[in-house]
Amino acid sequence: MATVLREEGFDIDEVLAPTGLNAQTIADPDCLLTVAQELEFQRLFVQHTKELPGLWYKIGLRYGVLSYGVLGQASLCVNTVGEALELFITSFQDLNYSVLKYDLVSSSPAELIIEASDDGVGDDLRHFCHERSLGSCERLMSDFVPGQQSFIRIESALPTRPAWLAQKTLSGAPITFGHSRTRWFIPASLLDMKMPLANETLGLTYRHACSKAVHRMNEQTNIVSRVYHLLGNGRLDDCSIGRVANELSLHERTLQRKLADAHIRFSDLVAQVRQDKAKQLLRGSHIQIAQVAEAVGFTEVASFSHAFKRWTGVTPLDFRKTARGG
């Protein structure tokens, strides 16, 4: 996504600023983004590119199998296409970069379905995620079975056919819209096709690396989610790291180190909690903007409005109007 932003003429550091990241950081091959940072980056990307038709689908097409790191390498080393899909969708879904939830469904002996649901995905990311998935799933299957027709048909959760798609087909398959989930129907005959780089020894090595990556992610997510929960359930006018560390029975410096290991700053978590709480109040209540500001720990409405626009790109009042369809 950063590469696309650069190609479209955006200042990467400026776009990334609210996440605490910068172009140099994410260019580091050893950089690990937290879930919170990844989601915030996606939200910012959507805000900056929503007027560029078809770009989100084209981004998906860039997700070649090796762009998934050890997961991509592991998938290339298994015996069959079916086993490769199993790795991506069942065994190591946490490593596939998507916030959509994928599943493999067998509807008949003749076909297998990849199903993507958006349960838990915010309204601000839903369209982006489904449109990008159309490209990423097409690219993944073309890498697994080059030169083959991958899909029998596609059902998309996008509400209507997007303007950038002139025809009623995508990647050679009929596509329809307005479904509750996005689904790709794959000929069962493809599943037993041999992967050209199948290697049992390498496959085991890469699977082990995938397991370690998921374990590391779970450890990081655990401390981040615990801090987020404590902040969200406490007074937002008292978001001191000392209070949170005390409630976690940790020394303040220990908590700072654990968050640093998760590549996130305490201040970023505070901002995320305040942002999420503010959005919740603006969507679901009729209280005044000043009361929302106070509820999320701001003593001045102007400071809150400035922070909210920095987070979302719009003012609190404009956000409320849009959220309510006004």
pLDDT of residue 245: 86
pLDDT of residue 192: 94
Please, which residues bridge with residue 39 across strands? none
What homologous superfamily is domain 215-323 in, according to CATH? Homeodomain-like (1.10.10.60)
What is the pLDDT confidence band of residue 224, given thresholds at 50, 70 and 90? confident
Q: Hey, which bits of 72-227 come out as E strands?
A: 101-108, 111-117, 153-155, 169-170, 173-176, 182-187
Put residue 206 in one of left, alpha, beta given phi > 0 → left and psi -120 to 50 → alpha: alpha
pLDDT of residue 220: 65
User: Tell me: the pLDDT tens digits for 28-74?
Assistant: 766 666 666 777 888 889 989 999 999 999 999 999 999 999 999 99
pLDDT of residue 135: 97
Residue where the block lists tokens 């776009």:
15
pLDDT for 11 beyond 70: yes
- The whole-number average pLDDT for the span 262-284 is 85
What is the pLDDT confidence band of residue 7, given thresholds at 50, 70 and 90? very high
Residue 113 CA to its chain's centroid (Å): 22
- Tell me how far apart the alpha carbons of residues 275 and 177 are, in angstroms, rounded to a whole number: 32
- The whole-number average pLDDT for the span 206-228 is 81
pLDDT of residue 216: 73
Query: With contact defined as beta carbons under 8 Å apart, do 12 and 5 qualify?
Result: yes
pLDDT for 226 beyond 70: yes
Q: Which CATH class is domain 53-198?
A: alpha beta
Q: For the chain, where do the domains classified as CATH 1.10.10.60 start and end? A: 215-323
- Tell me how far apart the alpha carbons of residues 74 and 88 are, in angstroms, rounded to a whole number: 9
Q: For the chain, where do the domains classified as CATH 3.90.1520 start and end? A: 53-198
pTM of the predicted model as reported, rounded to 2 decimal places: 0.70
